[in-house]
Chains A and B, each alone.
Chain A
Amino acid sequence: MAVGLDKVKPEAITEERQLIVDGMDISGHWNRMFEQRVIWDYDTSQLDRVTDLPGGESLAWCYGCAKCTGVCPVDIVGDYSPRKIHRKTQMGIDLFESPDLWLCTTCRNCLRVCPKEVDMIQIMPAVREQAVLAGSVPAELQKAFEDTAKHGNPLGQPQRKRADWIKKAGAPVPVLKDVKRPVDLLWYVGSYPSYHPRGIDAAAAAARIFHALGVDYGILGIEEKDDGDSQRLAGEKGLFEMLAEANIAAFEKYTWNRMVVTGPHEFNAFKNEYPKLGFVRPIVHYTRLLVEYLDRLRPMLTKPLNLKVTFHDPCYLGRHNGEYDAPRQLLRAIPGVELVEMGRCRENGYCCGGGGGGMWLDSFTKAHTTMRLSERRVREAVEYGADVLAVCCPFEVSRFEDAAKSTGHDRLIVRDILELLDQALEGQP
């Protein structure tokens, strides 16, 4: 006889805060697991090694429904998904030593569909950290760690040259050290926009747009360091903490109202991870900021581009942070742009392969998949007849441009939304 069921009415379901049935307390989240299923058939010690780690627990919750396999971007080019990881570790494969450990890009599509909330965004960094501590890291990833530790950026460029890109900006770029007054916006530029030639193109475009709009902002210049979040997801938590401490100190040196961020990974870091270290400030991705300025921006966009454009949702802007509309609003504001959506878009958007450390595992991932994720994505853009693949993540431009070349789709143009806006801006050559 159940106690406390007297409120159940035939026409409505009543939720109980606490419920005890046959002496068992069954209160809690609807998805709560009351007791771990007891597995007799296998030696679960490999699985236990994962689930014993703080962050690794949820791998045990998998009940093998395989919804994740259907949406995992890596499975589409390989043989990999959280469910498969669970099954393999259950059967005694050592995840700590397996190449599988480095294939997850933390794109979050599995977590979106998982009924059991098996969270690879927690599991992967936890297991990878152990591998990093044990020194078993793919060489190219280790080089990115070393470069970041030594130079403050994964490209291995000198810290003192971090602001050199502003010479190519074609518009004044105020550096806070020289501005010596409070500003409305602190613009966190990021490593790739500061150093990578194609990233610099986007940063320069942003500088020209900000200048045209009269945005009151400043950058940190050589006081800025990489955000470190992708290194954290790749297993180097200490490196992340070291960078975060340095960045937070630099952020707090100056007076500003809001921070605008070029990259979704950095946006995610400052919005969701830095607060855990005590840094809680308003953060905005550049797409959302420019939407706020759209009434002023739109009349300036006078040069029609006449292009069929498709948009790739960055995992860390879309699925991780729920922003799908701002980039599309900006694209639609450009005269002559016809926006076409790819099959995999918005919540189910495909992944470029650069997240969670994938940016620095290119050869490794290539060796363990049939094609790069970026190559798969470029093919999809071409299938939908796009002239331009538009992006708004600094990881993506070079990834997709390389993929367009390697798949023979050289005619596909890859542009950051900043570059397209800049191109349409009046007075630009």
Chain B
Amino acid sequence: MILAVAIKQVPNLTDDLEISADGTGLDYDALTYVLNEFDEQALEEAVLVKEAAGGSVTVVGIDTTGELDGALHTALAKGADRAMKVTGDFDRDLGSEGQAQLLAEAIRPLAADLLLTGVQAADDRDGQIGPRLAALLGWPYVGVVTHVTPEPGCVRVHKEYAGGLLAEFVVTLPAVIGVQASHQPPRYAPVSKIRQIAKTAQIESVAGQGTPASSSSVRRMFKPEAAGQAEMWAGEPEEVAGKIATLLTAKGLLKL
């Protein structure tokens, strides 16, 4: 089975995010990037499918940060066979609409059977990449998937609804699957291996054609009002514990 995984980097949310001077985007220079956590799950699921059914995994992303190589090397260390990046003069905030168009062009020649990608990302303001890719490629899409089982000509997937309820679907290939979680936690790629690969691996570069325009524009970006609705308690853990205990007693949840 020929598998492809579409990945992207997103700002590291443990950093403080700052708004740009013009107020319509983030201060991208002050950011560090990490791989979208759902793409990490998608990659793991792809490698698990490859291990079960044979075949190859190609990882592909748009290099909007100039730092995509690191993520691609990690993917190779985790079991991907090929790494591809789409290069060009892209805005850092290139949305899902533009990314999907570029990715679809890069993925089409791969003649993949199955394309996996993260079900969502922290920055997909204009919607998820997966369903867009499916529509552009003319393939079916199922998202919020937690288990992919390869079968001849199709995959059996578990899609998650609220409350742990699952639906099982059989999807004819080629198809796009939006992965919520891989059925095993993503494996660790030893830094030793990543560094070895970084020295030897070939990352295939594809020049992205044009800069796709977005059909919606952000006119204001801002941080939610620090509503600070919560009344904050200062003090040592013991004091906070005392206050919580008093509250629970008042609510009749702590019998003295």
Which A residues are within 8 Å of any B CB, using their own CB?
A: 129, 132-133, 135, 137, 142, 145-146, 149, 158, 160, 235-239, 241-242
Contact A132 B14 (CB under 8 A): no
Offer 5 A-B interface pairs, CB within 8 angstroms, sorted by A.
A129-B192, A132-B192, A149-B191, A238-B194, A242-B191
Q: How far is the CB of A204 from chain B (nearest CB, A)?
A: 15
Contact A242 B195 (CB under 8 A): yes
CB contacts under 8 Å to A, within B168-218, are 187-188, 190-196
- Report Cα–Cα, A411/B254, bound state, in Å: 34
- Report Cα–Cα, A160/B16, bound state, in Å: 10
Q: How far is the CB of A137 from chain B (nearest CB, A)?
A: 8
Which B residues are within 8 Å of any A CB, using their own CB?
A: 14-15, 187-188, 190-196
- Report Cα–Cα, A154/B190, bound state, in Å: 14
8 additional contacts (CB under 8 A) given A129-B192, A133-B190, A239-B192 = A135-B190, A142-B188, A158-B14, A160-B14, A236-B190, A238-B190, A238-B194, A242-B191
Contact of B190 among A145, A158, A160 (CB under 8 A): A145
Contact of B193 among A158, A160, A238, A241 (CB under 8 A): A238
Closest to A130 in B: B192
Closest to B14 in A: A158
Contacts of A236 in B (CB 8 A): 190-192
Closest to B198 in A: A238
Known: A158-B14, A160-B14. A239 touches B187 (CB 8 A): no
Contacts of A142 in B (CB 8 A): 188
Q: How far is the CB of B248 from chain A (nearest CB, A)?
A: 26
Q: How far is the CB of B147 from chain A (nearest CB, A)?
A: 22
Contacts of A145 in B (CB 8 A): 188, 190-191
- Report Cα–Cα, A251/B209, bound state, in Å: 44
Contacts of B195 in A (CB 8 A): 238, 241-242
Q: How far is the CB of B240 from chain A (nearest CB, A)?
A: 16
Closest to A137 in B: B188
Contact B14 A239 (CB under 8 A): no
Contact B192 A237 (CB under 8 A): yes
Contacts of B191 in A (CB 8 A): 145, 149, 236, 238-239, 241-242
Contacts of B194 in A (CB 8 A): 238
Contacts of A242 in B (CB 8 A): 191, 195
Q: How far is the CB of B237 from chain A (nearest CB, A)?
A: 11
Contacts of A238 in B (CB 8 A): 190-196
Q: How far is the CB of B29 from chain A (nearest CB, A)?
A: 18
- Report Cα–Cα, A239/B74, bound state, in Å: 13
Contact B188 A133 (CB under 8 A): no
Q: How far is the CB of B47 from chain A (nearest CB, A)?
A: 11
Contact of B192 among A133, A146, A160 (CB under 8 A): A133
- Report Cα–Cα, A320/B22, bound state, in Å: 57
Contacts of A158 in B (CB 8 A): 14
Q: How far is the CB of B165 from chain A (nearest CB, A)?
A: 30
- Report Cα–Cα, A160/B191, bound state, in Å: 22
Closest to B78 in A: A135
- Report Cα–Cα, A235/B192, bound state, in Å: 9
Q: How far is the CB of B15 from chain A (nearest CB, A)?
A: 8
Q: How far is the CB of A40 from chain B (nearest CB, A)?
A: 37
Closest to B187 in A: A135
- Report Cα–Cα, A129/B195, bound state, in Å: 13
Contacts of B196 in A (CB 8 A): 238
Closest to B194 in A: A238
Contacts of B192 in A (CB 8 A): 129, 132-133, 235-239
- Report Cα–Cα, A133/B190, bound state, in Å: 6
Q: How far is the CB of A140 from chain B (nearest CB, A)?
A: 12
- Report Cα–Cα, A129/B192, bound state, in Å: 8
- Report Cα–Cα, A158/B12, bound state, in Å: 12
Contacts of A133 in B (CB 8 A): 190, 192-193
Contacts of B187 in A (CB 8 A): 135
Q: How far is the CB of A166 from chain B (nearest CB, A)?
A: 17
- Report Cα–Cα, A135/B190, bound state, in Å: 8
- Report Cα–Cα, A236/B188, bound state, in Å: 12
Contacts of B188 in A (CB 8 A): 135, 137, 142, 145-146
Nearest 7 pairs of A and B residues by beta carbon: A238-B192, A238-B191, A239-B191, A238-B195, A132-B190, A237-B192, A142-B188
- Report Cα–Cα, A148/B187, bound state, in Å: 15
